[in-house]
Amino acid sequence: MIEVNNLVKRYGDHTAVDHLSFKIEKGKIYGFLGPNGAGKSTTMNMITGYIASTEGTVTIDGHDILDEPEQAKKCIGYLPEMPPLYFDMTVLEYMNFVADLKKIPKDKKKSMIAEVMEMVKITDMKNRLIKNLSKGYRQRVGLAQAILGYPEVIILDEPTVGLDPKQIIEIRDLIKSLKEKHTVILSSHILSEVSAVCDYVLIISHGKLVASDTPENLGKLAEGSNTLNLTVKGEKDKIRTALGQIGGVKNVTVADAKEEHAWNVTVSTNEDSDVREEVFFKMADAKCPILEMQSKKVSLEEIFLELTEDDKKSKTSDKKMEVNSAGEAEKILEAQNGETDKKEGEDK
C-alpha cells in the first residue's frame, strides 16, 4: 500500500528524518511512536506530499508522491497536527468546501457529507461556526475532512492531543472503527495510546526507526525480560558458569563492581521464571557470597524510553537502529545492560 524507502529530511545541518524505510499494509492501524521532535510530523508531511524529501522515495499504491502527486494524494486523507480549518465557516460550509477540493461528484456529495458527519458525530453542530466549537469538536471536524471521499489511507498526526479523557476515548474508538474500510497511520508520543489503538507500532527516535513490531510482541518483550541485579564476591568465571546453569536464565553479564573482588552481575530470565532462590543456593555452593540482589521487571515504558532516549550512550545507538523485531530488541537491551554495568565499574 505505502512504501517508504530511505527517506531523509534535512533542515540545514539538522537531520529531522534519517534514512527511514518501512512498508504499510492494507487494513491495519499503524502507530508512529516517538518523543517530541523525533520526526513524526516531518515523516507524515513527506508521506502526504505536504513537504518534499531531501532523499528517498514514498510510493502510495505504486504512485510516487512527488512524480505522480495527484494519483498518490487521491489515496490519502490527512489530519495534520493543526487541523486545517476555516474558523469563519460553519461545519457544513467547510465540509462542502472540502468535498469540492476533493472533487467529490455532485450527486454523491450531499449524502457522503451527511454520512461522514454522522460517523464523527458532528451532525448536531453542522450549522455552528467552527470558531465556536470546542477543541474536541474541531478535532472531529478535522477528522471528518480527512475521511471525506473515503480515501484508502487516513493519516492522523497526534489526533488526541489537547483533548479531555472522554474525548480521547471517543476519538480512539472512532479511529479503531476506521480500520474496517481504511488503512490508518497515526502518530503519538503516548505509548498507551499507540498500544491501545494500533496493530503495528513503529518507534522513531532522532529521525530513525529504532523498533517496529506489534504491541503484543513489544509487550512480550517487556514481560519476557525480568532482570536480577546482583553484587557477588568471588571468581568472575565461576559466577558466570554457575548462574548460566540455572533453568530459565537467558543471559548473564558480569562487570566490575565498586568493592574489591566483587562483581556487578545482571541475570536476564524468562518472564515466568523466578530464579532468586536458585541463584542464592548456586552462589552458596560456589562459595561466592551475594552482597546484594535486586529483582527488576522491565516495563514496556522502559523499553520505549531506552529506545528513544537521548544519545547519551552513543555506543549503543548504532545498534538500536538495527532493531526491527522483539527478538532483536531483546538482544540489544541485554547488550545495553552489560555495557551499563561495565560503565559503572569503570567509573569507580
C-alpha cell read off for 262: 566483587
Nearer to ligand ATP, 27 or 37 (CB): 37
Place of cell 524529501: 53
Nearer to ligand ATP, 54 or 90 (CB): 54
Q: Write the single-letter amino acid at 87.
A: F
**Four-CA torsion 8, 206, 42, 325, nearest 10 degrees:** 80
- Which residues of the chain form contacts with ligand ATP (CB under 6 A)? 11, 14, 16, 34, 36-42, 81, 189
For residue 65, give every residue at least 6 positions away whose Cβ sits within 8 Å of its Cβ, in sequence order, or none: 46, 47, 48, 49, 57, 58, 59, 72, 73
How many Cβ atoms from other residues are within 10 Å of residue 76's Cβ? 22
Nearer to ligand ATP, 40 or 282 (CB): 40
CB of residue 161 to ligand ATP, shortest distance in Å = 8
Q: Write the single-letter amino acid at 301.
A: E
CB of residue 74 to ligand ATP, shortest distance in Å = 25
Q: How far apart are CA 87 and CA 303, in angstroms?
A: 41
CB of residue 87 to ligand ATP, shortest distance in Å = 22
Nearer to ligand ATP, 189 or 282 (CB): 189
Nearer to ligand ATP, 41 or 253 (CB): 41
CB of residue 105 to ligand ATP, shortest distance in Å = 35
Q: How far apart are CA 14 and CA 16, in angstroms?
A: 6
Nearer to ligand ATP, 41 or 251 (CB): 41
CB of residue 8 to ligand ATP, shortest distance in Å = 12
C-alpha cell read off for 71: 494519483
Q: How far apart are CA 338 and CA 342, in angstroms?
A: 6
Q: How far apart are CA 182 and CA 6, in angstroms?
A: 25
Answer for the pair 12, 60: CB distance below 8 angstroms, yes or no: no
CB of residue 165 to ligand ATP, shortest distance in Å = 20
